[in-house]
């Protein structure tokens, strides 16, 4: 990792409590950073390694990402002092909210807004993780907030992880989240808003052209995915190919390794998952379905080598 990022790492000790809040894009079996991805298998391997090396006493994860449940489901042990909650289960999108006219973007996501607003309002030396989880689960009506790992840790108070210095509670009027939109639809939704709010014919034409261009790029990427699906489908009938491309289901325990290999190869050879949101929202689902249908990682790699012969592309949203 030399030369990448700030260089800061968690230099923790056996008595430390670690809180990890991740907010970005996700897909079956991975979460994405601006220029790279982290697989569920790699994340859980590091957690287990840290536990074995006594690098923490207890660890808490709050993960906001689409299909974020796939980062822990059937992977995170229940006996290593790690508790995780996710904005969505393993097969659904999380949702953006709080559109701001001035900044022309969404300022939050439903899951994170709910836990942060609750944190502002409550006494963290008294409220437990479980209490906050149940509240956030109840108020997040756009996706299914989930919990994984050692559920006994949820009995601890939030202050054990959020810190020991507490400010006075902040209670503000609840803002509406009725503008919530699936994360995978945000880019096109923002372009549509720009067209709607355009103040001149030229501006309206410009943003309309951006929508057309995005659609053309998406179409090219989709054709690549269809070729991969056709090559690995047991039955090349349309229904079978569509099932590979569209079916959303949890990743079974035996398919995670296959998916990790396939996702990494696709991102390196076909389209960078970190730099092409539309690929991130679609390719891992296809690869996960193929792995769970018995297609091996070796077979998927061979198919992708044959199909993905185009020049590298980025910015397909």
Tell me which residues are annotated as active site.
Answer: 25, 66
Give helix 201-232 / helix 238-246 axis angle, nearest 10°.
Answer: 120
* Token couple for 45: 């391997």
Whole-number Å distance between alpha carbons of 296 and 137: 36
| Contact by Cβ (8 Å): 150, 57 | no
Nearest by Cα to 314 from 220, 228, 186: 220
Reduce the DSSP state of residue 109 to 3 states and report it: strand
* Residue tagged 């690098």 (tokens): 55
Whole-number Å distance between alpha carbons of 98 and 82: 31
Contacts of 249 (CB under 8 A, 6+ apart): 91, 288, 289, 292
Reduce the DSSP state of residue 128 to 3 states and report it: strand
Cα→Cα distances 264→32, 175, 187, 257, Å:
12, 40, 24, 11
Rounded to a whole number, what is the distance in angstroms from the first to the last CA of the chain? 27
* Token couple for 182: 């699936």
Q: Regarding beta strands 30-32 and 17-23, do their DSSP bridges make them parallel or antiparallel, or are they unpaired? A: unpaired
């Amino acid at each position: 990792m030399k030369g990448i990022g700030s260089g800061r790492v968690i230099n923790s000790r056996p008595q430390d409590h670690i809180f990890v809040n991740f907010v970005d894009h996700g897909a079956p079996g991975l979460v994405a950073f601006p220029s790279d991805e982290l697989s569920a298998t790699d994340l859980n391997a590091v957690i287990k390694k840290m536990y074995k090396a006594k690098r923490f006493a207890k660890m808490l994860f709050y993960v906001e990402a689409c299909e974020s449940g796939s980062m822990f489901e059937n992977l995170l042990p229940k006996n290593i002092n790690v508790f995780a909650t996710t904005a969505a289960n393993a097969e659904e999108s999380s949702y953006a909210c709080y559109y701001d006219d001035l900044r022309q973007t969404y300022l939050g996501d439903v899951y994170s807004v709910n836990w942060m607003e609750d944190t502002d309002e409550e006494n963290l030396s008294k409220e437990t993780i479980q209490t906050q989880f149940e509240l956030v689960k109840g108020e997040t009506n756009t996706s299914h907030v989930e919990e994984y790992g050692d559920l006994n840790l949820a009995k601890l108070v939030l202050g054990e992880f959020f810190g020991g210095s507490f400010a006075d509670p902040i209670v503000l009027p609840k803002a509406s989240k009725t503008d919530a939109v699936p994360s995978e639809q945000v880019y096109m939704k923002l372009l549509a808003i720009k067209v709607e709010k355009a103040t001149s014919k030229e501006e309206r034409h410009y943003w309309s052209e951006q929508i057309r261009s995005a659609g053309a790029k998406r179409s090219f990427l989709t054709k690549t995915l269809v070729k991969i699906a056709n090559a690995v489908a047991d039955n090349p009938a349309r229904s079978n190919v569509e099932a590979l491309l569209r079916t959303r289901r949890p990743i079974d325990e035996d398919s995670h390794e296959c998916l990790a290999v396939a996702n990494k190869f696709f991102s390196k050879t076909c389209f960078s998952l970190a730099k092409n949101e539309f690929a991130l929202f679609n390719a891992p689902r296809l690869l996960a379905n193929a792995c769970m249908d018995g297609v091996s990682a070796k077979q998927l790699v061979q198919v992708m080598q044959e199909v993905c012969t185009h020049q590298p592309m980025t910015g397909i949203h």
